[in-house]
Structure formats: structure tokens, C-alpha cells
Amino acid sequence: MGENTKPLEPKEWSELAGQLLANQLQPSDILNFSEEDFNRYFHYSFEQSARMQELIGRSGSISFEISRYENMGIDIVTRADSMYPKKVKKRLGNSCPPLFYSAGNLHLLDSDFVGYVGSRSISSDDMNFTIETVRKTVEKGYGVVSGGAKGVDTTAEAEALRLGGSAVAFLSDSMQRKIKSPETIRAIQEGRLLLLSVVKPDAGFNSGVAMMRNRYIYAQSSGTVVIKSDYNKGGTWSGAVDNLRHEFCNTFCWNHTGYNGNMALIKMGAIPIDEAWDGDAADVVIAKRPATEQLSMFEN
């Protein structure tokens, strides 16, 4: 029965975090909670207590899975860990995920990054602009953060690594397949590449996860560059519009008159850039914050 019980959503995790903090408890303290304990400390109903106990009952199989992933070089970092992405936590507040699967150097998260987003289908001009822009941002001391998808993402990541820089990729599917690449293994071993994902390492593509990971890219960035966006459709468009609304970081956009999506984003407030841009994304103004930032027990 527990295997079919729905896991906690980010909002529910945040509520649990607040309850643990209020009662001066650690997550490990609830592993042996009874129904009475859940009612006493958290005022849970019978149904809520039963659900939590069913989820806790999975601990044996979870331990096995964790060991299996560790043997592959994949770790798990939760919001209770000091190495959890601090910028993502701060900028997304209670909407940040409870955990990330990770492969690579988590200390890279302390560096500054420029995000790169765009279409999977790109022309030679798109590729050349991406490569030249990455060169400028790497020279300014930034790493590259992307979604690890074909097209703009992998072009930006590969160029940053080729130049001796660093890269972080928020994946939406199969980290297990990604870490089989010799180039990926080498960059991880050199401490210059970090892979992060909210889905199990063997999971397939999920459009909802792909949409949500755009937020992680923007939240981790000093500024994010939109290379190519369709108009009013697709993940690149929705991610850029979401960032323009919430202002997690500055949105830079290639001033390409042939791309209607790019032109529309610039009209909405994205900062236009072209071949003359110097790659400096330091002047970041984050005017808005998510209303829910109640994770003080997990702040580092």
C-alpha cells in the first residue's frame, strides 16, 4: 500500500519543515512517530498520519536505492543539507524541490553562472552566437548553467568545458544515461561539471519536469541568455516569461529580428543583446521575491 502513496509535494514538505522547526525536531525524529505523535505535534488527522507512516515505511527500499545510486556516482542532496543549491532555495522559497539527485562537484554551486536556454533545433548562426557569447561570459569568470538538452544547452555546456570553465546542468530525464558519456565522466572527475535532477536517475522524459527545471536554471544564474524562443509556446518561452514575472535574475535575449519569440520577450522586458555584448551579467536586480520563504530551519 505504501508504494502507491503519493509523496509529499514541495508545499507539503515546506509545511512539514515549519512544523519540525516549531517543535524543535529533526526529520529523523519522525521515523518512529506513532499516530498519536503526529496528532500531538502536528495536529494531523488519522488520514494524514496514516499517509506519513506509509511513506516512512518505505525507508528500507529507499536505503537500497540510495546505495545503488551511490555505486553509480550519484548522490542525493536534500533541503536539509548544507550543500543544497543555496540560490535556488533562496529565490524559489517554498517552491524549491525537496531534493536533487546529483553527480559531480556540488561546490561548483558557490560560483557565479550565466544560464543558457533555447531551442533544441538550432542553425549554424544560433550555434555560433551561443559559442561566442559563452566565450565572453567564461572570460568574465562565469560558468554555464543549462538544462542539458540538445541544441543550445549542450552547445553552451560543451563550449564552457572546452574553454576550461565549469558547467551545471539541471536535467529533466535520465541522469543514468548522461553519466555514461566519456566526456561527461571526464568533466565530472575533473570537478568542472555538476549534474542535478529532481527525478530518479533512470526516469524518462517528463514535459512537466522539463518546464519546471527552467526555474532552477534562472534561479541559479546571475543572468540567463535566451538564444532562440518560439512565440507563445514551448519551454524556452514559458521559462523566460516566468522569469520576467518573478525576476529571479536578469533575462538577456538575443536581439534577432527573425525570431518572433525573441522580439516579443524583449518587448516584455528582456534585455536585448547582440554580438557587441561584453558578457557581463553582474548587474542583477531582483525586485520581487516569492511570498513564501519560510524555510529558516533549512537556510544555510
Q: What confidence tens digit (pLDDT) does each residue in 147-177 have?
A: 999 999 999 999 999 999 999 999 988 898 8
28 part of a folded domain: yes
Q: What is the extent of the structural domain holding 43?
A: 9-57
**228 and 108 assigned to the same domain:** yes
Strands 113-117 and 143-146: parallel
Query: What is the pTM assigned to this prediction?
Result: 0.80
197 lies in the same domain as 117: yes
What pLDDT score was predicted for residue 3?
A: 56
The pLDDT value recorded for residue 205 is 72
Confirm whether 76 is domain-assigned. Answer: no
| 174 lies in the same domain as 47 | no
Which pLDDT score, from 0 to 100, does residue 202 have? 83
CATH assignment of the domain containing 222: 3.40.50.450
Is 95 inside a domain boundary? no
With cell 516549531, the residue in question is: 22
In a shared domain, residues 21 and 146: no
Same domain, 134 and 252: yes
Number of domains present in the structure of the chain: 2
Decide if 287 is inside a domain. no
AA letter at 123? S
- Cα gap 256→122, rounded to integer Å: 13
Residue 261, pLDDT score: 98
CB 96 within 8 A of CB 10: yes
Per DSSP, 273 falls in state: E
pLDDT digits (tens, 9 = 90+) for 276-299: 999 999 754 444 333 333 333 333
Q: What distance in Å separates the CA atoms of residue 45 and residue 51, rounded to the nearest whole number?
A: 10
